[in-house]
Structure 1
Amino acid sequence: MTHRSFWNRRQFLGAGGMALAASASAAPQSSRANSKTQVGMIGVGGRGSSLMRLVLGMEEGGAGVHVQAVCDVYEKRKQLAQERSKAEFATLDYREVLGRKDVDAVIVATPDHWHATIAIEAMRAGKDVYLEKPMTHTIEEAKKVVQVVKETRRVLQVGSQTTSKDQWWKARKAIQDGMIGKLISSQGSYHRNSIAGEWNSTPERGNRSWQIEAQAGPNAKGVDYIDWDMWLGPAEKREFDPQRYFRFRKFWDYSGGVATDLFYHVVAPLQICWGEPQFPHRVVSSGGIWAFPDREVPDTFNLLADFPKKHSLVLSASMANSTHIPGLIRGQKGTITMVDHGQFEGATDHITVAAERIYEAEFEEKFGGYKAVDIPVAETPEDAHMANFLECVRTRQKPHLDADTGYHAQVIITMGVQSFRESKVLFWDPKAEKVVYEPPSA
């Protein structure tokens, strides 16, 4: 096996990612009306395997989709994915998938530090993209992805699957109908607990996807071979470390920890609830490594954000305590409870809108004679977000979590990570679209 050398992230973004310019978005695609969308899976570890199983189930159920190619830098995962999917083609190198004319769309489920590079190259190769959350590793990358979506006119769905659930659209309508008055603040959380710590193997929760396979590595032979240089890609070069490969979310080079892994599932749907994507004005974060010292990222993390439209966001997370704070959207005249059990994006069959006591009479008059209203929420199939993406591939419509909405969510979260790491209050300059350290001038 030959190892490869890669450009760094800044070189790639600065050069505009022209490596595949010859395969521009006008390249012929295999899909035609009434034919199957041919998909390439890039990254088939824990999350990628789950997404592949979802697609295979959709194909078995008669959906117009087929897994045509699979890719992973770990030979064992690559072979298993090909066996399970019966894909025609398998490779360790994602560029070989992008170069195939029989692939219409790719599903990218690599570690975060690869998201932007692969998504941008894929779109320039004429592929539509399902891009697992977080959208990117940096704000600069997210901004570039949005630009390339516009240039190539490809469909890109960010893979925060919860945004295809019905409750966000019901909350959005409740806010638009004036049920809570002026938006004041939103709050959500993501709390978990485990004996070993998040992103380690947690068999007590039925999760073995973070297990270290000691026999695997860049010097191994056969199915145990890992192309470590390819895995690092645009990240800092270093010797192979099983912890970094198998448990990448614990390290800053490849992840933003709980913020990018879990807060994205709160911030992205809130962008839908608020009626339009919104950048923050000010962001500050706190927290630390309070329980699990085997990582660089915090196990407890809190994020506060204020917005130009005069409302706030409060996010709470701990990987050492599983008790959530209530998932709420507060207005001057009422409050929406997103779930009764606390986890903001958890499953529910209703949301509740309750009037503030001083506005109960007005609420009763406008909304059916009640001080609080339960709004039914339709059950959302597990494959709803993927189905939305595939439908948009066929119709060329905007998906539920398009690149621009995903970018706005990414800015909030990545500013939170930067605030924590620098111990600073950060501001967003909406004209320059960049982070600054003083309030931007009007």
Structure 2
Amino acid sequence: MSSPQNRRTFLKKGAIAAASTLAAPMFLSAATLGRGQPGPNSRINIGLIGNGLIMRGHRSYYRGRDNTVVAAVCDLYDDRLQDALEECRKENNACAGYKDYEELLARKDIDAVVIGTPDHWHAALSIAAMKAGKDVYVEKPMTLTIEEGKAMVAAEKRYNRILQVGSQQRSERAFRKAAEIVRSGWIGKVKEVYCGLGSFPAPTAYPEHPVPEGFDYEKWLGPSPWEPYHEERVKSNYGGGWRCFWEYGSRKNGDWGAHHYDITQWALNRDNSGPVLFVPKGYDEPYQYYEYDDGIRVIRDWGDRKGHMIRFVGEEGEVMVSRGGRIDTTPTSLAGTPLGPSDQRLYKSDDHRGNWVEGIYTRKPTICPATVGHRTGTVCQLSGIAERLNRPIKWDPKAEQILDDPYAARWQDRPRRAGYELPA
């Protein structure tokens, strides 16, 4: 491992190298050629913000495409930034590194950004990027709060950007087929949906530890309340770390709920609406659930999912679906039956990142734009509010407002620390 001094020198050189075009092949960016369909010699210049666990796959993907180039990387950890730079410079020696996202967004040659930070930074970064003229791929859940989601939808429209939320199950064949089966009425009226989210360890009050050299903890906290530093609070860990804390996410409601509740919304044709009631575990049933206005109940971590992630139970049949292309149905013949002329065919994408890249070229909406990400995020956030307050929450999906509970309604947003206001 290099010394802190060598690392700082490396990063300084990395930012300077962005100004040089001698170290890498010359490709005109989409921004340079205009915002119509890019020409055949253009590549999309991409910046990667937040280079933790989830960004590893993004780095590999965008480095490996002929029509994209990773032009810049950004992270608040010196070591992660150095590692990302070393990796991305294998294809593009001019790739630059930044600790401040503002410097990356100020570059006119960056066409688009991928945001892989913890959830509490998603909205501010996405809106700032769209305001700067960048298209955005933002990891799920799209936002931390309901009001942030509204602001994201408004920004996507105001700045005419192409945005993709990282709910990649929409781009997997089995989930699309399951949603089409439900939408087409093959299992009759849906009565219940079972979703498996799992659980995180309970949030813990950790003792204060020294902030390690090379990490900007103050900026990592950003809009969230100040808390003493501890490694577990900020750790990138799919099984815990920052994901355990309400300050930075919605726990499992936002972690796996952003995937499975998203598919449920899609299958039930509720992408422009949502449930009307959210009930925490143990209130009137031994499980957490939410309900739509037609009585369909979506149940978390309860009931027999028959080995699958999601199970749709209808009056005339069932469909069970999971990652890895797994889909089972009752009757069994449904899974392999092709759609007929009158059946509902949904937006087809077989490559979630590629769908976003295509949208950047064509300026056509992605499979999961801000409007969809916001509605799914709202389901996750309301589930979390009901859990934290330990009481049912009534929701008006048309007005997008919590009903009959002024205190709960305040939780549609959260206070932001001074200096970290949401961009307009």
Measured against the shorter chain, the TM-score band is 0.7 to 0.9
Go from structure 1 to structure 2 and tell me whether the alpha carbon gap of 1:198 and 1:74 turns closer, same or farther (over 3 Å shift). farther
- Give, as a single letter, the amino acid of the residue that structure 1 aligns with 2:115: V
- Give, as a single letter, the amino acid of the residue that structure 2 aligns with 1:328: R
- Give, as a single letter, the amino acid of the residue that structure 2 aligns with 1:75: D
- Give, as a single letter, the amino acid of the residue that structure 2 aligns with 1:331: G
Of 34, 39, 49, the residue aligned with 1:33 is 39
Give the superposed CA RMSD: 3.2
Q: Give the paired residue count.
A: 347
Go from structure 1 to structure 2 and tell me whether the alpha carbon gap of 1:351 and 1:392 turns closer, same or farther (over 3 Å shift). farther
- Any conservation in 2 of the 1:287–1:420 contact (CA below 8 Å)? no
What's the secondary structure of 1:374's corresponding residue? helix
Q: Does 1:313 align with 2:298?
A: yes
Q: Does 1:303 align with 2:288?
A: yes
Q: CA deviation at 1:263?
A: 1.5
Of 296, 314, 331, the residue aligned with 1:331 is 314
Q: Which residue number corresponds to residue 106 of structure 2? A: 99
Go from structure 1 to structure 2 and tell me whether the alpha carbon gap of 1:142 and 1:302 turns closer, same or farther (over 3 Å shift). farther
Q: Which residue number corresponds to residue 394 of structure 1? A: 361
- Any conservation in 1 of the 2:195–2:300 contact (CA below 8 Å)? yes
Q: CA deviation at 1:78?
A: 0.7
Larger CA deviation: 81-90 vs 69-78: 81-90
Go from structure 1 to structure 2 and tell me whether the alpha carbon gap of 1:186 and 1:241 turns closer, same or farther (over 3 Å shift). same
Unaligned 5+ segments in structure 2 are 5-29, 236-240, 339-348, 407-424
Q: Does 1:110 align with 2:117?
A: yes
Q: Which residue number corresponds to residue 342 of structure 1? A: none
Deviation per residue, 1:365-402 (Å, 9 max, x gap): xxxxxx7433279xxxx981111111111111111111
Q: Which residue number corresponds to residue 177 of structure 1? A: 184
Alpha-carbon separation, structure 1, partners of 2:360 and 2:215: 32
In the TM superposition, what are the counterparts of 1:106-185 in structure 2 within 5 Å? Answer: 106-185=113-192
- Any conservation in 2 of the 1:183–1:311 contact (CA below 8 Å)? yes
Q: Which residue number corresponds to residue 240 of structure 1? A: 229
Q: Which residue number corresponds to residue 334 of structure 2? A: 373
Q: CA deviation at 1:248?
A: 1.1
- Give, as a single letter, the amino acid of the residue that structure 2 aligns with 1:352: T
Deviation per residue, 1:316-340 (Å, 9 max, x gap): 18xxxx99666311222221122xx
Unaligned 5+ segments in structure 1 are 2-27, 201-215, 289-300, 339-344, 355-370
- Any conservation in 1 of the 2:203–2:245 contact (CA below 8 Å)? no
Q: Which residue number corresponds to residue 410 of structure 2? A: none
Instruction: Give the TM-score normalised by the residue count of structure 2.
Output: 0.75
What's the secondary structure of 1:46's corresponding residue? coil
Go from structure 1 to structure 2 and tell me whether the alpha carbon gap of 1:114 and 1:175 turns closer, same or farther (over 3 Å shift). same
- Any conservation in 2 of the 1:157–1:401 contact (CA below 8 Å)? yes
- Any conservation in 2 of the 1:37–1:66 contact (CA below 8 Å)? yes
Q: Which residue number corresponds to residue 12 of structure 2? A: none
Instruction: Give the TM-score normalised by the residue count of structure 1.
Output: 0.72
Go from structure 1 to structure 2 and tell me whether the alpha carbon gap of 1:403 and 1:303 turns closer, same or farther (over 3 Å shift). farther
- Any conservation in 2 of the 1:139–1:414 contact (CA below 8 Å)? yes
Alpha-carbon separation, structure 1, partners of 2:319 and 2:186: 9
Alpha-carbon separation, structure 2, partners of 1:327 and 1:144: 30
- Any conservation in 1 of the 2:122–2:143 contact (CA below 8 Å)? yes
Q: Which residue number corresponds to residue 231 of structure 1? A: 220
